[in-house]
Amino acid sequence: MKNSQNPSLHHVKIYSVVTLILIIVGSGISYWTAGRIAFYTEGVMHTSKVVQRTNELYSSILERESNIRGYILTGDEEFLSHYNQSNVNAELLLNQLQALTMDDGLQQNNVEELRGLINSRVRTFEKTIAFMKEHGSLDGFLDSTKTSNALIGYKMIKEVILRINTVENNLFREKNQSLINNINALPLIVGLISVFSITIGLVTFFSIYQYNKAQITANKEIVLYQEKLRDQIKLLDDTNKELEQFAYVASHDLQEPLRKITAFSDLLKEQYNNTLGGDGDLYLNRITAAAVRMRRLITDLLDYSRAGRIDIEKTKEVKLSKVIKDMLDDFELAIQEKSAKITLGKLPKVKGSDTEYRQVFQNLISNSLKFVKKDKAPEITISSEEASLSLIKKFPTLDERLSYHLIKVMDKGIGFEKEHADRIFSIFQRLHGKHEFEGTGIGLSIARKIIEKNGGIIFAESMLGEGTTFHIILPVVNT
């Protein structure tokens, strides 16, 4: 069921991520391409401006030449006004050309060369105008050398302007071709990304369809499984009830002959104690002790079968301090006999049953009173604190979202080795012989069963000869 779901869901996730990556990459490439288009468009416009300015400058130079000729032929001062305006326009256009070609060293040199040639021509024009104004004509001023120099100067100006335009036209063709290439690539890039995205989207849709189909099948299987599980739980509950009833009846029926054995043993010892010879008295005492142990074992087994089976409806808020104090009152004689010192800290309220928690702490304190070093009075401390999150995380059965109490029962008894920390909670497990310490090995099993039934955890930490600490983790009661 799990295997039928995960592949489709896994594919959906992969295709979604691939689609997102394609969209991001496509958007990035499109953005980069758009930037390149803007860059080359600006370059094309820039070269167009340079060519336009050189053309305007050339027109201004031609206009100036024409105005000078008009003034020389007619003597009309209006031609001089146009001439002067042409000079201003030419200087302005030269400055604009110099600014537009600031990033091109070759073109800067060409502009400076053009400026020098224009200024040279202007100086010649100024001398011509001055002679014309003084003499009224150019007789005696013009000669073949000056005419030749004027033609050479004009040709040189035209050559430099053509050189500037040639460089800019080459740049224009390069940038225009790059612009066309980027413009042509943009639809292709967007188209490819769209095709890939649509394809991945269709595959994702198909995977979702397969996933939903598998989910419907899985849900049907879950419903069938839940129905079987409910039947099994009902059957198990009925079996547990039968076992509990059987345990009660069996324990009652088993204890009856044991009571008779004990009673007849006591009568034999009372009436025939003086007539028993040899080891008869010893055998009789052993029969009585065995019957007592058997009765205790049956009682403990009955308690274990019932432990943790109180209905949830019967649980309530329990004050642990009151439960333990009442239980210690019953232990008063045993505590006094062993001169035990019991320190009781502030304890919380928890959910559960008074009787259950009494069993838990009765078993723990009984162990602490029992397993002590020779000739040393027992010392027991019971305290409580908030359980840390790191401690809660160590136990999968605990809910990390909830708060828990950590209750500690510490003693300075004989302790045990670390490898037995879990074994002591198993039923019938004893670390010592029955002749060393009395008991059936069921008490801690009952304690664990009750604590776990109430949503908690119990575990022990100990060092041989140093004492034992029982840790109980229980949920905080929400008030």
What SS3 string covers 305-332? HHCCCCCHHHCEEEEHHHHHHHHHHHCH
**Residue matched to tokens 């003086």:** 274
User: Does a structural domain hold residue 250?
Assistant: no
pLDDT of residue 55: 86
- Which of 163, 190, 210 delimits the end of a domain? 210
- Inter-CA distances, 166 with 54, 59, 176, 399, 444, Å: 11, 17, 15, 81, 102
pLDDT of residue 428: 47
- Could you tell me if 323 and 431 lie in one domain? yes
pLDDT of residue 229: 84
Share of the chain above pLDDT 70, in %: 81
pLDDT of residue 313: 46
User: Does a structural domain hold residue 244?
Assistant: no
pLDDT of residue 331: 77
Measured in degrees and rounded to the nearest 5, phi and psi for residue 473 equal: -110, 120
Q: Please enumerate in sequence order all residues whose Cβ is within 8 A of that of 477, keeping only pairs 6 or more positions apart, or say none.
A: 317, 348, 349, 350, 351
User: Does a structural domain hold residue 50?
Assistant: yes
If one compares 344 and 25, the residue with the highest pLDDT of the two is: 344
Tokens at 63, concatenated? 């206009």
- Could you tell me if 314 and 462 lie in one domain? yes
- Could you tell me if 20 and 155 lie in one domain? yes
User: Could you read off the pLDDT of 49-67 as tens digits, one per residue?
Assistant: 888 888 888 888 888 888 8
Range in 151-165, 193-207, 275-289, 419-433 with the lowest mean pLDDT: 419-433
If one compares 69 and 26, the residue with the highest pLDDT of the two is: 69
- Could you tell me if 348 and 470 lie in one domain? yes
pLDDT-based confidence at residue 432 (cuts at 50, 70, 90): very low
- Which of 154, 177, 210 delimits the end of a domain? 210
User: Does a structural domain hold residue 15?
Assistant: yes
User: Does a structural domain hold residue 285?
Assistant: no
pLDDT of residue 439: 46
- Could you tell me if 26 and 136 lie in one domain? yes
- Could you tell me if 185 and 332 lie in one domain? no
- Number of independent structural domains in the chain: 2
- Could you tell me if 333 and 204 lie in one domain? no
* 265-275 average pLDDT score: 72
- Could you tell me if 173 and 320 lie in one domain? no
User: Does a structural domain hold residue 292?
Assistant: no
pLDDT of residue 427: 55
pLDDT of residue 452 exceeding 70: yes
Predicted TM-score (pTM) of the model is 0.44
pLDDT of residue 254: 65
pLDDT of residue 285: 72
pLDDT of residue 437: 45
C-alpha torsion angle, residues 459, 460, 461, 465 (rounded to 10): -170
* 376: CATH: 3.30.565.10
* 11-23 average pLDDT score: 73
pLDDT of residue 405: 93
* 424-449 average pLDDT score: 61
pLDDT of residue 238 exceeding 60: yes
The neighbouring-strand residues paired with 327 are: none
User: Does a structural domain hold residue 300?
Assistant: no
pLDDT-based confidence at residue 42 (cuts at 50, 70, 90): confident
pLDDT of residue 383: 92
pLDDT of residue 469 exceeding 80: yes
- Could you tell me if 198 and 317 lie in one domain? no
User: Does a structural domain hold residue 225?
Assistant: no
Tokens at 308, concatenated? 């943790």
User: Could you read off the pLDDT of 113-162 as tens digits, one per residue?
Assistant: 888 888 888 888 888 888 888 887 777 777 778 778 878 888 888 888 88
The neighbouring-strand residues paired with 350 are: 318
* 297-304 average pLDDT score: 61
* 60-84 average pLDDT score: 84
- Which of 194, 210, 226 delimits the end of a domain? 210
* Run of H or E including 247: helix 144-272
Helix, strand, coil % (nearest 5) of the chain? 70, 10, 20
- Containing structural domain, residue 334: 310-475
Highest mean pLDDT among 283-287, 294-298, 307-311, 372-376: 372-376
Q: Please enumerate in sequence order all residues whose Cβ is within 8 A of that of 382, keeping only pairs 6 or more positions apart, or say none.
A: 324, 342, 343, 344, 345, 347, 361, 407, 408, 409, 410
pLDDT of residue 240 exceeding 70: no
If one compares 434 and 220, the residue with the highest pLDDT of the two is: 220
- Could you tell me if 200 and 347 lie in one domain? no
Q: How far apart are CA 474 and CA 404, in angstroms?
A: 5
User: Could you read off the pLDDT of 408-418 as tens digits, one per residue?
Assistant: 999 888 877 77
pLDDT-based confidence at residue 467 (cuts at 50, 70, 90): confident
pLDDT of residue 390: 92
